Amino acid sequence: MHQKVFEELLESYLQNTISEVEKEQLMEIIRNGMHDDFIKEKITMLLQENKGLDPLDTQKSDSILKYILSSPSTKVIPISEKSSKKTIRVILSIAAAITILFAIRSVFFYTNTPDPVKTATSETAEEVNPVLAFSGKQLIHLTDGSTILLNENSSIEYNQNTFNTKTREVTLTGEAYFDIKRNETKPFIVHTDKIQTKVLGTAFNINAYSKSGKIEVTVTRGKVQVGDVEKVYGVITPNQQITVNKNTLDHTQNTVNAEAVVEWKSKYLILDNINMEEAIALISQKYKVPITLSNENIKNCRITASFLNDEDLDHILKVVCSVIETEYHYTKNGAIVLEGKGCE
């Protein structure tokens, strides 16, 4: 069943008909490394279908796959609808140790070119532009173990060469929720216009949408310092908020309900490399339905998936079950039961 699901999802991606949720499912299946041979065969087959391109030998195919799976890029690149008849684009972007986004029909090689791992062009591009940028609804894993959940119409960028050296600095446009791993020697700094939000390790929300004309920093855990390059406006703790006027830099500090401020997160379902016992607890809580496991070994299975478009319960269950190779059904009283062999 696993192989069939993988092939169907990959074909949907090649046809550019795959949904965002199905992309998440494809990422998880690819991440387990069971389908490397199939991917190599698919690359070779696609090359053979295009006139003017020679078939790949085994060594070349292995080299391309190695390049794809070792790519440090985390930027998602969509499938091009205007691919050349004589070229095929193949890019696999990896969010380190967590997620993989697979895209085909994006040119990174031509036949009779050097090994793509060693091309001067790719090395030069990394040296010229060390800035990583993310936009739109997504969960971002930083190299220091911190996570950032981006809201819609928002973006984050940072310099990968300097991040986590003396400091950990990012620039935010829009709104995001930060869960920062504590490091007392390397403060985490969020730049929003002229404002700097500085922490050592905590969880907080920043709303800096341009139309509002203000920046709101709200703490859910720990302690946060807000200010600019010249002075500190204040230090806030859970259920406290500092609001800054972007133009005048006037600021106020108030007590708020932090849960209400970050309510936008509640429509998202983030299963971030957790076991199924934790996953079903989150799903059950979000959709207000009891979920049980017919086999205790299912608890041992781990899953990584992000549902950011208010997907319905059945859609989520289908994705989860296909990834961990289980099935689900409803009982007469409306509860849900997951069945399968589970994981050791």
164-199 residue pLDDT tens:
999 999 999 999 999 999 999 999 999 999 999 999
The pair of structure tokens assigned to 105 is 């029909």
Burial class (CB in 10 A: 0-12, 13-18, 19+), 98: middle
**Strand, coil or helix: 212:** helix
* Side-chain half-sphere CA neighbours of 252 within 13 A: 5
Average pLDDT of the residues in 208-228? 95
Choose the CATH number for 138-263 among 2.60.120.1440, 1.10.1660.10, 3.40.50.300, 1.10.3720.10.
Answer: 2.60.120.1440
Q: Which of 39-53, 143-157, 230-244, 270-284 has the lowest mean pLDDT?
A: 39-53
**Strand, coil or helix: 175:** strand
Per the DSSP assignment, residues forming a β-bridge with 240 are: 255
Question: What was the pLDDT predicted at 115?
Answer: 46
> Which residues of the chain form CATH 2.60.120.1440?
138-263
Q: Is the pLDDT of residue 125 over 70?
A: no
CA angle at 174 for the pair 168 and 179, rounded to the nearest 5°: 40
> Which residues of the chain form CATH 3.55.50.30?
268-339
Q: Residue 24 — pLDDT band, cuts 50, 70, 90?
A: confident
Percent of the chain with pLDDT over 90: 57
Question: What was the pLDDT predicted at 98?
Answer: 28
Q: Residue 25 — pLDDT band, cuts 50, 70, 90?
A: confident
> What is the overall mean pLDDT for the chain?
78
Average pLDDT of the residues in 24-39? 64
Q: Residue 38 — pLDDT band, cuts 50, 70, 90?
A: low
Choose the CATH number for 268-339 among 3.30.565.10, 3.30.9.10, 3.55.50.30, 3.40.50.11060.
Answer: 3.55.50.30
Question: What was the pLDDT predicted at 93?
Answer: 31
Q: Is the pLDDT of residue 74 over 60?
A: no
Q: Which of 32-41, 99-108, 191-200 has the lowest mean pLDDT?
A: 99-108
Question: What was the pLDDT predicted at 46?
Answer: 54
Q: 301 vs 60, which has greater pLDDT?
A: 301
Question: What was the pLDDT predicted at 341?
Answer: 92
Q: Residue 103 — pLDDT band, cuts 50, 70, 90?
A: very low
Q: Is the pLDDT of residue 11 over 90?
A: no
In whole angstroms, how far apart are CA 300 and each of 3, 245, 319, 336? 21, 49, 17, 18
